Amino acid sequence: MDQTAVSFLRQFFKKYKYCFLILLVGILLMLLPTGGNHTEPTVQSTVETALPKEALQEQLSKLLSQMEGAGKVQVLLTQATGEKTRYQTNDDNTSAEHSQTNRTDTVILTDNSRNQVGLVSQIDPPTYLGAVVLCQGAENSAVKLAITQAVSNATGLGYHKITVLKMK
């Protein structure tokens, strides 16, 4: 090696010595053992599901009856669709000279007991068509508005799809 190459390498190393030091420390940290016992990951569902329609109706009735001026309350919800579970899929697109094939497979997880479960990517909550609320305090417009807002927030319905009526 000639003198100019050695001089260039010295200047280069001197200029970037901290970058090389950080890189070396990172490599050493990656090589360190993590310690502890190695266990296989377990399949757990951490997805919280939405309440069934009947449970939501009952819970809304209890909650709304606690509002000042509402009195006794009954809630009826109508559903357009129920809860939908979407599973993770692998898409395989292959193309030959004259044809193209698309293949979609659901990702399956197997636990230690050899139970197979599809990998859930998303759970869509139910969609509601409308709500009818019967309450004793419906003649009060402030109570009616508060009930409409609460039902809208709980179900995702617009105000025009919620009817609040006076109970006899």
Mean pLDDT in the chain? 81
Would you list the domain boundaries of the chain? 1-33, 49-83+125-168, 84-124
| Angle, vertex CA 98, rays to CA 93 and CA 99, nearest 5 | 35
Residue 49 has pLDDT above 70, yes or no: no
Report the CATH fold assignment for 49-83+125-168: GMP Synthetase; Chain A, domain 3 (3.30.300)
Instruction: Measure the CA–CA gap between 164 and 103, rounded to whole angstroms.
Output: 50
Instruction: Yes or no: say if 142 and 49 are a contact pair by the CB < 8 Å rule.
Output: no
Q: What would the mean pLDDT of 8-19 be, rounded to a whole number?
A: 84
Per residue in 92-136, pLDDT (tens digit) is: 777 767 777 777 777 777 778 778 777 787 887 788 899 999 999
User: Predicted confidence band at 163 (pLDDT cuts at 50, 70, 90)?
Assistant: very high
Count of CB atoms situated within 10 Å of the CB of 66: 8
Q: What is the pLDDT of residue 135?
A: 93
Sign of CA dihedral 155, 157, 159, 163: negative
Q: What is the pLDDT of residue 145?
A: 93
